[in-house]
Amino acid sequence: MNYRAAIALRKTVDIAVTALVAAVCLAPILWGLSTSLKPANRIMEYPPRLVPETISFEHYQTLWDQGILHYIMNSVLVSAFTIALCLGVGSLAGYALARFAFPGKSAILFTIVAVMSVPISSLLVPTFGFMVDLNLLNTRTGLVLLYAAYELPMTVWILQAFFQTIPVELERAAMVDGYSRMQAIRRVILPLSTTGLVAAGLFVLTFAWNDFVVALVMTTNEDARTLPIAIYNFLGYYGREWGPLTAGAMVSIVPLITIFVIFQRHFLAGATGGSVKG
């Protein structure tokens, strides 16, 4: 086999493997999309069709009628405030860990890594007790605080690693130029950290937006319920409501995918790292 043929073959294999992986990952989503657009009486038809014969938005209408907006707003608010809290606290903590030498620093770093490995489900019962005592059950604030607590170790870790790649001379220059340390962080370090902030923010978003277990336990009525719980309830309350269920799933997936597409440039750059030079 000559060189050119070898390259062509390798390319073909690459594409084939990638396509296979993509198909396996995307198939359930495509199937869900298809189901959500079928009229209710066609969902269980045999043989099944991937492309619906007639397209109907009735399930989306059902969602709307049942007040899906309330759950969407809950998810949006909880996710947004969790991200804000995580990035706010996480960037300050990450900065301190990246830049200052202080007693107990390595103990803190070790603890952060250790805490990341604690399974959340093992914390549910004690945290539920806390939430009741603090009157935070069934509140969005309670969810935000819990999510932030779960995701802060990861956020701090990502950001401190990122800050270390930024030359210390940049903030020193800013301080000599007449800016306080906080101003130097805000005007020099944070603008150069978009990649790290986006990467950490997406981590937090994925968790907060998709979380099911914590939200299920910490909400006993509709007040603070988030989208994943609402979708789940279509399984329980009215028998198997496949149409609204898949429509709800689509509604919850689309915003996340949109945000990832928008920020993918940053996310990839963050993963490869070293993109900032002094």
Partner 1 sequence: MSHVTFSSVSKRFGKIVALDKLDLSIREGEFVSLLGPSGSGKTTTLNLLAGLLPIGEGEIHIDGKLVNYVSPDKRDLAMVFQNYALYPHMTIFENIAFPLRAKRGRFSAAEIDAKVKRVSEMLGVGDLLARYPKELSGGQQQRVALGRAMVRDPKVFLLDEPLSNLDARLRIRMRQDIKALHTRIGSTIVYVTHDQAEAMSLSSRIAVFAKGKLQQFATPNEIYNRPANLFVAGFVGEREINQFEGRLHREGGQLVLQADGTRIEMGTPDGFERAMDKPLIVGMRAEDLEPQATAELGLIPATVKLAELIGPDLILQVMVGHLVLDCRADPRGNFRPGDVVHLRPRVDAIQVFDPQTTESLRNFS
* Site residues for partner 1 per CB under 8 A: 167, 169-170, 172-181, 183, 188, 191-192, 276-278
- Closer CB to partner 1, 162 or 234, in the complex: 162
Radius of gyration of the chain (CA): 23
Q: What is the secondary structure of 145-156 as a DSSP string?
A: HHHHHHHHHHHH
Closer residue to partner 1, CB minimum distance, 163 or 242: 163
Residues, the chain:
278
Tell me which residue has tokens 């910490």: 218
CB of 171 to partner 1, least distance (A): 9
- Give the Cα separation of 200 and 61 in Å (integer): 35
CA dist., res. 225 & res. 246, Å (int):
18
**Phi (first) and psi of residue 239, to 5 degrees:** 75, -155
Q: Least distance from C-beta 127 to partner 1, angstroms?
A: 40
> How far apart are CB 35 and partner 1 at their closest, in Å?
47
Least Cα distance to 85 among 138, 155, 136 occurs for 155
User: Min. distance of Cβ 101 from partner 1 in angstroms?
Assistant: 9
Burial (CB < 10 A; 0-12, 13-18, 19+), residue 17, is exposed
Output 130 or 179, the one with its CB closest to partner 1: 179
* 3-class DSSP state of 24: helix
255 HSE (CA, 13 A, CB side): 17
In the bound complex, what is the minimum distance in angstroms from residue 151's beta carbon to partner 1?
27
Of residues 103 and 126, the one with the C-beta less far from partner 1: 103
The smaller minimum CB distance to partner 1, of residues 15 and 176, is found at: 176
Nearer Cβ to partner 1 (49/181): 181
CB of 187 to partner 1, least distance (A): 8
Token representation of residue 191:
């603008």
**Which one, 131 or 189, has the nearer CB to partner 1?**
189
- Distance of closest approach, residue 167 Cβ to partner 1, in angstroms: 6
The encoded tokens of residue 40 equal: 């209710």
C-alpha 23/C-alpha 34 separation (Å) is 15
In the complex, what is the shortest distance from the CB of residue 162 to partner 1, in angstroms, rounded to a whole number?
Answer: 15
Whole-angstrom distance, CA of residue 268 vs CA of residue 260: 10
Nearer to partner 1, 129 or 191 (CB): 191
Tell me how far CA of residue 121 lies from CA of 127, 128, 157, 213, 263, in angstroms: 10, 11, 22, 8, 30
